[in-house]
Structure 1
Amino acid sequence: MPSKKSARLAALTVAAVCSAASTVVLTAPAHADSVRIHDIQGSTRISPYAGKQVTDVAGIVTGVRTYGSSRGFWIQDPDADADPATSEGVFVFTSSVPKVAVGDSVLVSGTVAEYVPGGASSGNQSLTEITRPTVTVVSSGNAVPAATVVDEDSVPDEYTAAGDAAANGSINGLTLQPAKYALDHYESLEGMNVRVADARVVTATDDFNELWVTVKPWEHRNRRGGTVYGSYDSQNTGRLQIQSLGKAADFPAANVGDTLAGPTTGPLDYTQFGGYTLVASELGTLKSGDLKRETTQKQGRGELAVATYNVENLDPSDGTFAAHAAAIVNNLQSPDIVSLEEIQDNNGATNDGTVAADRTMQKLIDAIVAAGGPTYDWRSIDPVNNADGGQPGGNIRQVFLFNPERVSFTDRAGGDAATAAGVTKVNGKAALTVSPGRVDPADEAWANSRKPLVGEFVFRGKTVFVIANHFASKGGDQSLHAQYQPPVRSSETQRHLQATSVNAFVKDILAVQKNADVVTLGDINDFEFSGTAERLEDGGALWSAIKSLPRSERYSYVYQGNAQTLDQILISPSIRKSCDFEYDSVHINSEFNDQISDHDPQVLRFRP
């Protein structure tokens, strides 16, 4: 899948240029000359004054944002009404650096608008704002309204109500029930000064100086301090994104399992890439959880170790080769076969028609040798230029890396970007018509996506078929915090087709040889409980071996506070029935702020 970083940079560029286009002004029958903040916020997600002028809205400035494309400040009414559904805070969008300070008592006149971060097509909720403001400072140095505590006692366990079927599943028009639903609780505090205390980090600090904490310490906690996402029906309600109103250099470099000790306080915002976000004027002190990178067990002499590792757009210009090599040699214990995803061509994202990746691979192989590992060999198939998605010009593909001292590759000529591998019978056993080859590359399932790479290996005289995959990304899906509930997962349509295609190919192998050892692995870009996984497993042809782990250990990727499974290794019945296999999700990247990839590698050890 495209990296979070590249997708985020692109989106921020659009936001900076087109922020006005993302502002949705909704008409309403109300009109006001002078109203209170809680009147503007109302008891639903959409202001009853949207699109209307308001005059002399009173409040105390609780935070000022002087940077980015959303400059402005928050105000809060210190005299709350009796309705817990109506927020007492609101953001005032100035576009330029505001001329107010925290503690100022102000009167604001302007137009009420509903701004949708990411644009209306994103499906995100909207943020109620006062735009084109005229601001009068009445007095300065006033006490800021006390922060509302957000903790495990205040946030409900139920995530959200189902959307209104008459409104295409939107929750925008539903009356907020902050004591019943977590999303409603956060919405009822939108724009207000809030506080979390001693909050554990559940997503490491990213390149944009953001991290995620949980206010529910025991909610689906794993032994490394993360919060596991294990079902569409069981959302983690305690997750909250943290940004800072301070200098970027002062933002803590946190890992999963660390703690922001003491109070973290500031206005509650709503953002494109995180939903409800505490923008801190006061940050807790980082307390290390002393998280260590994991090392898997070395395979025994009679065990075959097969791994999958997404190396995130690796090309010869990257400075991560030594780190990736050290991870393969030390943390993964030099697996016999490694499916590498996101290997780019020899000049990376330069879009000049280059598709070969021999320089990329040789640089990685040399780095592995320098790290004390074996001299690996490799096999792959160059894609058609710009036909497989990913960064334009990068031509990402899967590559088989294998240790020729432990395993041999069966080369069968004829495989290329357009030729589909088939299954035949040789001496009573299954064999590929081409090796390496591609699985059904002309099928619509693989349009603008990475085609599966299949190869035939021999270990201690026994054949093992390996299918390396990188399914379509989740780009375009509505977020968990979207206004549409349940959110639409539009991207899974293509993954379902891809899973069906791979499953059919595995069934072709098993139809020829019922007890064939088949390993299907890679960046599946979907969960072990997903419809994609169900289609891969259809008919018992495969089984996702990460399900052999305790539920709290089933993750390879951490996103928006959720530790989740995207990378999988699926095995054929002969491997599963032997019960002689071990699975390890090796956590070396996803939980760390200095990650060299956003994915954790997976390792399967078994005796063919």
Structure 2
Amino acid sequence: MHVIQGGASTTPYDGDVLVIEGVVVGDFQDPTNGLGGFFVQEEDLQADADPLTSEGIFVYTSTAPVNLGDLVRLQGEVDEFYNLTELKNIVNLTVCSSANPLPTPALVTLPLASAADWERWEGMAVTITQTLVAVDTYTLGRYGEVELALEERLHAPTDVVSPGAPALALQASNDRRRIQLDDGSNRSYPAPLPPYIAADGTLRLGDSIPGISGVLSYSFGSYEIHPTAPVTFTRQNARPAAPTPLIGDLKVASANLLNYFTTLTSSGAICGPSGNLQCRGADTPAEFIRQRDKLISELAAINADVFGLMEVENNPSAAIADLVDGLNSVLGAGTYAYIDTGYIGTDAIKVALIYKPARLTPVGSYAILDSSVNPLFLDTKNRPSLAQTFADSNGEKFTVVVNHFKSKGSPCNDVGDPDLGDGQGNCNLTRTNAALALLAWLASDPTASGDPDVLIIGDLNAYSMEDPLTALRNGGYTDLAQAFLPNDSYSYVFDGQLGALDHALASPSLLPQISGFTVWHNNADEPTALDYQDYNQSALYHPDPYRASDHDPLVVSFTPGMAHRLRLPLVQR
């Protein structure tokens, strides 16, 4: 096998027909519930002394009468199948003997010297004896996969270190500490439940296993271990039943709703102010009810006096009115009202504000930041920002401005803003300019409140150490996550790395009035399989707040007009 595998990332014998002999170390032949093949490894005495060459290989067949421990000889065509070296078109298979001792698994110790080092064990039995934690369950429901990392969770580099060389170094370190756990199957949406789900119906990020043994394969751009023994996670990250209680008279929360549309996607491209944009969110009426119930459960549990919301359907009022009606049906008639903005901008989604009229009164009209106000703010990329001043029962005023900056998910090359490769991703300049425009706009008192107390909230699509957040902090605003939760400020998990894309920042005059800040980790740490989509396993769905969205909500507490002593920790970020 080591001759076929070679010391490089691909075999030098692609297309050749060769004969191998070795011991079966993993049998996953079931074409429906398995991988459609088995793994063979050289006997220990037949292994070479080159650490760069793998001693195993995947044999692609679903009809071989083999068992674990069989010594087999077979002929097949070498195939580099999407970077997995395998044998196919198998003939002349003979079981030479059975119940043989299994070859010694390769002992893998993390972190690796290089993420590419996994190639030297491709197709082999491997074992890791170190503690591993779940860092990503995005594909758990669909493919039975869990991303694992050594001992602790991984941070998005630019959430904790500066862009450029420090971020790239941390990314390389993260990549050397991780491996994907698969389930020995090519099934999609394994039923009735995906693997590794605990009795309480979830696997939360941060949950751990004491190690793992299996065979190493490669698929869809990732090395992965298919276990050869049962895998059971230990719960390390308990589900928070509600947000951490905060002191203070008022609560303001920020929540990304993950495309709350009353117009179904099956309606076609009829959404947005132009009426020709693809609708988002639920596909069917049943999915919409599931989505609505989860979001209402989340928002009702937070019970904030003001919510800044992102990813609401951009129609005159139907979507936001429906959400408010749903909340009021749970919390009581008239509990919430919405700021009636009509359409905002040109996208299919918009930001929105809802509030408790028994607690707060809007002062004057709302204000919108878009390109017409400041060309530096590209409203063809960023969603326009929305500001509203409120007054409490004592007449104390404050302004909330909710934002949703351009995501990293698609490029901005058309406006001269490419990914510079420094870890900040696509459209960093677009987001930074939006932050600068926001600062200038707020300095002009856009709501004519005459009051400097301002709270910036929303999904800025930028991590804590990136340029947009640096610009806002340099502009005099305090990042409340850094002030109150320097070690627990994440709101999103992408590619197995946690970080804060959602933020709350206070103006200098508002800061002394703030008494608390928290992030409710009800969404980002949960598998996507728990969300409202009805292609997920039905047993996983509950009308509860867990995986109501992909972003965690933020909550800020304060008492208008009353200064609170704020002790800022000395944290280098």
TM-score, length basis structure 1: 0.67
User: 1-side partners of 2:12 and 2:377: how far apart?
Assistant: 47
Q: Which residue of 1 aligns with 2:390?
A: 458
| Structure 1 residue matching 2:289: 3-state secondary structure | coil
Shift in Å, 1:193: 2.0
Q: Which runs of 5+ in 1 are unaligned?
A: 1-36, 116-126, 157-177, 346-354, 389-394, 413-434, 478-485
Q: What corresponds to 2:534 in structure 1?
A: none
Query: Residues 465 and 512 from structure 1, CA distance in 2 versus in 1: closer, same or farther, beyond 3 angstroms?
Result: closer
Question: Structure 1's 580 and 467: CA in aligned 2 closer, same or farther, altered over 3 A?
Answer: closer
Q: 1:602: Cα distance to partner?
A: 0.7
Instruction: Quote the Cα distance in structure 2 between the aligned partners of 1:403 and 1:70.
Output: 55
1:599 Cα offset (Å): 1.5
Aligned residues between the structures: 474
Percentage identity across aligned positions?
22
CA distance in 1, matches of 2:355, 2:331: 15
The whole-number CA distance in structure 2 between the counterparts of 1:239 and 1:59 is 29
CA displacement 1:98-151 (0-9 Å, x = unmatched): 646453524343244362xxxxxxxxxxx332365434422174544343344x
Secondary structure, counterpart of 1:256 in structure 2: coil
Aligned to 2:272: none
**SS of match in other structure, 1:603:** strand
- Matching residue of 2:456: 520
1:188 aligns with 2:137: no
Alignment partners' CA distance in 2, 1:464 and 1:361:
23
Taking a change above 3 Å as real, the CA distance of residues 603 and 53 of structure 1, as seen in their structure-2 partners, is same
Change (3 A) 1:494 1:250: closer
Paired position in structure 1 for 2:177: 238
Which of 359, 363, 368 is the equivalent residue of 1:437?
368
1:488 Cα deviation from its structure 2 partner: 4.3
Any conservation in 2 of the 1:64–1:100 contact (CA below 8 Å)? no
| 2:321 corresponding residue in structure 1 | 362
Instruction: Quote the Cα distance in structure 2 between the aligned partners of 1:131 and 1:344.
Output: 51
Partner of 2:297: 326
1:305 aligned partner, one-letter code: K
Counterpart of 1:129? 85
Aligned pairs for 1:134-533 within 5 A: 134-139=90-95, 141=98, 143=100, 144-150=102-108, 154-156=109-111, 180-181=113-114, 183-196=115-128, 199-204=132-137, 206-212=140-146, 214=148, 216-217=150-151, 219=152, 230-231=160-161, 232=167, 233-234=169-170, 235-236=173-174, 237-245=176-184, 248=191, 249=193, 251-253=195-197, 254-260=203-209, 264-272=212-220, 275-289=222-236, 291-296=238-243, 303-316=249-262, 317-330=288-301, 332=302, 334-344=303-313, 355-358=315-318, 360-372=319-331, 375-379=335-339, 381=341, 387-388=346-347, 395-412=348-365, 435-440=366-371, 446=378, 449-460=381-392, 461-475=395-409, 488=421, 492-510=425-443, 516-533=452-469
Q: What is the deviation of 1:293?
A: 1.6
Provide, for residues 18-56 of structure 1, a one-character-per-residue CA deviation record: whole Å limited to 9, x for no partner.
xxxxxxxxxxxxxxxxxxx32343334x32516552522
Q: Distance in 2 between matches of 1:444 and 1:190?
A: 50
1:333-387 deviations in Å (ceiling 9; x for gaps): x112111122236xxxxxxxxx4451x33332233234336621113655589x5
Cα offset, 1:452, TM superposition? 2.6
**SS, match of residue 207 in structure 1:** helix
Cα root mean square deviation, aligned: 3.9
Counterpart position of 1:110: 77
Deviates more, 1:598-607 or 1:275-284: 275-284
Query: Which residues of 2 match residues 15-34 of structure 1 at below 5 A?
Result: none
- Distance change in 2, residues 1:533/1:137 (3 Å): farther
Instruction: Give 3-state SS (helix, strand or coil) of 1:409's partner.
Output: strand
Determine the C-alpha separation between the residues in 2 that align with 1:241 and 1:553: 25
Secondary structure of the residue that 2:307 maps to in structure 1?
strand
Instruction: For 2:232 and 2:216, locate their aligned partners in 1 and report how far apart those are by CA, in whole Å.
Output: 20
Q: Is the 8 A contact 1:267 1:279 kept in 2?
A: yes
Aligned to 1:55: 18
User: How far does residue 531 in structure 1 lie from its aligned partner after superposition?
Assistant: 3.2
Distance 1:83 1:396, change over 3 A: same
User: Which residue number in structure 1 is paired with residue 553 of structure 2?
Assistant: 601
CA distance in 1, matches of 2:58, 2:322: 51
Contact kept? 2:384, 2:403, Cα under 8 Å = yes
CA contact (8 A) 1:59 1:107 kept: no
Question: Are the counterparts in 2 of residues 244 and 281 from structure 1 also a CA contact under 8 Å?
Answer: no
Q: Secondary structure at the match of 1:452?
A: strand
Q: Which amino acid aligns with 2:400?
A: V
The answer to whether the 8 Å contact 2:402/2:457 transfers is yes
Instruction: From the superposition, tell whether residues 63 and 138 of structure 1 become closer, same or farther in structure 2 (CA, over 3 Å).
Output: same
Rounded Cα–Cα distance in structure 2 between residues aligned with 1:102 and 1:216 = 32
- Taking structure 1 as reference, are residues 155 and 490 closer, same or farther at Cα in structure 2, changes over 3 Å only? closer
Q: Work out the CA distance in 2 between the residues paired with 1:571 and 1:258.
A: 34
Partner of 2:269: none
Residues 232-265 of structure 1 show CA distances to partners (whole Å, capped at 9, x for unaligned) of 333444333222025654612122343446x643
User: Residues 291 and 311 from structure 1, CA distance in 2 versus in 1: closer, same or farther, beyond 3 angstroms?
Assistant: same
| Amino acid of the structure 2 residue aligned with 1:255 | R
Amino acid at match of 2:77: G
2:558 aligned with 1:558: no
1:526 alignment partner AA? A
Alpha-carbon distance between aligned partners in 2 of 1:581 and 1:496, rounded to the nearest angstrom: 33
Equivalent position SS for 2:487: helix
Shift of 1:501: 1.9
